[in-house]
Structure 1
């Protein structure tokens, strides 16, 4: 959902009035103002589903971040369930990515829009709450690696769904996804 400058001004003024009147049990005026002024109108559809008659489809960046958060959630959950022997096996099979499987975030310099989207999902929309306080600046570009990882992950997830296996990933599957992060020239 995109807004013109005039619409942003009107929404900002109405949000200020709403906040000053301390209207309870309604929209969050601070969130509305930030979403509109920061160009994150997509978040309004997520925060207030059903409010808009024809909600716009989420932008590609929003879909990408949702996929990445979903993938890393499964990776972390699966890693937590491994015993010491399985963790050692993963550390070797997915070196150096398999030693400590934690979402590194997005690059604050080059992927700041993705970082902002992830923070909105976790902090404002309270989705993927396991990442609360952990949407970090990775200090390096990660999107290409995440895209490669997600392609592997999506294939494994689809296979699991077709076989009615709704469990976590095993060591081999974790290694396959984590190794997807490698640059093709380093394989």
Structure 2
């Protein structure tokens, strides 16, 4: 679903998430756990954004009404450069250098606030509502609300 099978000059062909993790560990010198976390966050946010874009207008209003009081939208906010520099660098490497998650190209920049703890809570909620089937299965509005409200 996410891997770019066409080889770009200077890019490795990556076809699995495990290869993304291996490339980050090899090229960035990070731990497998840190790389796996970033891969999961990018996968989750890609599905959240795509699912939100696919909602009908009434569900989009419901989603906005349900998350707007918390002051955020359905848009990947990236990682903070302070205590989250390793995660930021891994995400930049995966998106910009390897060409994975093209939706985020140019958007993996310094976030306004720390996000790792929020992403951990969101991943817990995401795992409770989403079962991967090997294909693209968007989340419905209720599941989006559960995951996005876990941010706080």
| Structure showing greater Rg | 1
Number of equivalent positions: 134
Q: What SS does the corresponding residue of 2:110 show, helix, strand or coil?
A: coil
Question: In the aligned structure 2, how far is the partner of 1:157 from the partner of 1:65?
Answer: 18
Aligned equivalent of 1:106 = 79
Identify if the C-alpha distance between structure 1 residues 153 and 81 changes in structure 2 by more than 3 Å, giving closer, same or farther.
same
Using structure 2 for the length normalisation, give the TM-score.
0.76
Structure 2 distance, partners of 1:123, 1:180, is 28
Runs of at least 4 residues of structure 1 off by over 4 A? 44-47
CA RMSD of aligned residues (A): 3.1
CA separation in 2, counterparts of 1:136 and 1:149?
20
CA drift at 1:84: 2.4
TM-score by length of 1: 0.62
Check whether the contact 1:91–1:99 (CA below 8 A) recurs between aligned residues.
Answer: no
Greater RCO, CA 8 A, separation 6+: 2
List alignment gaps of at least 5 residues for structure 2. Answer: 1-8, 12-20
Runs of 5+ unmatched residues, structure 1: 1-26, 32-40, 48-57, 183-187
Aligned partners of 2:103, 2:38: CA distance in 1, in Å?
A: 15
What displacement does 1:166 show? 5.0
